[in-house]
């Protein structure tokens, strides 16, 4: 009887395993993709846009960040552009709202156009102002994402100069060319053309969610992981108007909004890609360094492509009048 019982028990166990194993496999969930992204702004303070006065835009942008639940954005400052009490008050308002300040040079030169000595002197001017700020971070972002182009000697001289000043690279990983969309909007407004605001919002959101998705896909190919992304925006009317929609779009696509502090603590922050032309996003340069085939550039960062898309998606055709309408 004992032997029969043991045989029955073994058969029951094998039956359970055969039944349970497929159930476990079918019930398993896909691996969670950790998509994190920080929001950053360049060129603060920036000139007037198409829709808001400078006095309106700053508070509107702060409110938009709060509405979107972005508890810490990073503003990369050009101190030499602070020309009035209004400009200074705007920067203080960003700080009071909990956002952080970092260096974008004093006058916004492109490194490829000036000497390393001139460039570092410009940084020293911005540092003299920034280091007194209560939310200052020792990050430096290259204007135009120009890290020296093909001049490796100059690029290295500036890297050494940044290290000597205690500054790390405040790189970008995702770029939707929002400055170009803002330029097109300003030009259309000045020309008296009719702008479809709902379609402009949708294009803005779609473009930036697409930039994040492209950067994440390229990063996985280049690094084998999902690093924290750093989204490049500018202090524009479009950001003030559409940022909550954009952040909602990112979250819908599975993104978590993180602080710039968290993003710049990612392991890719400690890498300096060695490439023939130092310009562009950190992810693009890592992909180039690895020798990945295919495009390393988000298609909407091509000027003519972006311009055609704006015209087709945002601009309303003129309304026919008189005999032409008949």
| pLDDT number for residue 269 | 98
The verdict on residue 253 lying in a domain is: yes
Q: In terms of C-beta density within 10 A (0-12 exposed, 13-18 middle, 19 or more buried), how is residue 140 classed?
A: buried
pLDDT of residue 172: 98
Q: Is residue 2 part of a domain?
A: no
How far is it, in rounded angstroms, from Cα 289 to Cα 169? Answer: 17
Structural domain includes residue 220: yes
Tell me the CATH number at 236: 3.20.20.370
Instruction: Report phi then psi at 85, rounded to 5.
Output: -60, -35
| pLDDT computed for residue 294 by the predictor | 87
Looking at the domain assignment, is residue 121 inside a domain? yes
Per the CB < 8 A criterion, the answer to whether 122 and 109 are in contact is yes
Please tell me the number of Cα atoms within 13 Å of 58 on its side-chain side. Answer: 20
Q: What pLDDT was estimated at residue 318?
A: 64
Q: Which domain, by its residues, includes 201?
A: 35-314
> Is residue 18, in this structure, part of any structural domain at all?
no
pLDDT in tens, 250-298: 999 999 999 999 999 999 999 999 999 999 999 999 999 999 988 899 9
Whether 12 maps to a domain, the answer reads no
Count up the domains in the chain and report the number: 1
Given this model, what pLDDT does residue 159 score? 98
- Tell me the average confidence (pLDDT) per consecutive run of 10 residues in the chain, 326 residues long: 39 35 37 88 95 95 98 98 93 97 98 98 98 97 98 98 98 98 98 97 98 98 98 98 98 98 98 96 97 93 97 82 42
Tens of pLDDT, residue by residue over 141-177, are: 999 999 999 999 999 999 999 999 999 999 999 999 9
Place of tokens 């509405």: 67
DSSP 300: G
């Amino acid at each position: 009887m004992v032997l029969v019982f043991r045989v029955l028990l073994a058969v029951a166990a094998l039956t359970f395993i055969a039944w349970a194993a497929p159930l476990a496999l079918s019930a398993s969930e896909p691996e969670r993709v950790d998509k994190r992204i920080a929001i950053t702004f360049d060129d603060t303070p920036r000139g007037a846009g198409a829709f808001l006065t400078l006095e309106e835009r700053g508070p509107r942008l702060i409110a938009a960040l709060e509405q979107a639940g972005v508890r810490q954005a990073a503003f990369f400052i050009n101190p030499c552009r602070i020309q009035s009490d209004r400009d200074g008050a705007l920067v203080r308002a960003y700080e009071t709202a909990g956002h952080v300040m970092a260096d974008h040079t004093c006058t916004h030169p492109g490194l490829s156009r000036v000497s390393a000595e001139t460039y570092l002197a410009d940084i020293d001017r911005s540092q003299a102002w920034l280091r007194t700020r209560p939310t200052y971070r020792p990050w430096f972002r290259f204007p135009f994402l120009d890290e020296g182009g093909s001049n490796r000697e100059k690029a290295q001289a500036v890297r050494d100069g940044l290290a000597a000043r205690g500054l790390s690279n405040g790189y970008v990983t995702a770029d939707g060319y929002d400055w170009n969309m803002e330029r097109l909007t300003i030009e259309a407004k000045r020309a008296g053309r009719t702008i479809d605001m709902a379609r402009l919002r949708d294009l803005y959101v779609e473009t930036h969610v697409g930039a994040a998705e492209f950067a994440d896909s390229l990063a996985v190919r280049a690094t084998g992981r999902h690093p924290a992304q750093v989204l490049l925006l500018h202090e524009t009317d479009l950001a003030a108007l559409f940022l909550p929609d954009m952040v909602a779009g990112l979250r819908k696509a599975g993104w978590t909004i993180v602080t710039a502090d968290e993003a710049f603590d990612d392991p890719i922050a400690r890498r300096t890609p060695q490439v023939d032309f130092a310009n562009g996003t950190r992810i693009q340069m890592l992909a180039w360094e690895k020798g990945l085939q295919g495009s390393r550039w988000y298609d909407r960062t091509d000027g003519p492509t972006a311009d055609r898309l704006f015209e087709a998606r945002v601009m309303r055709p003129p309304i026919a009048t008189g005999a032409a309408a008949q």
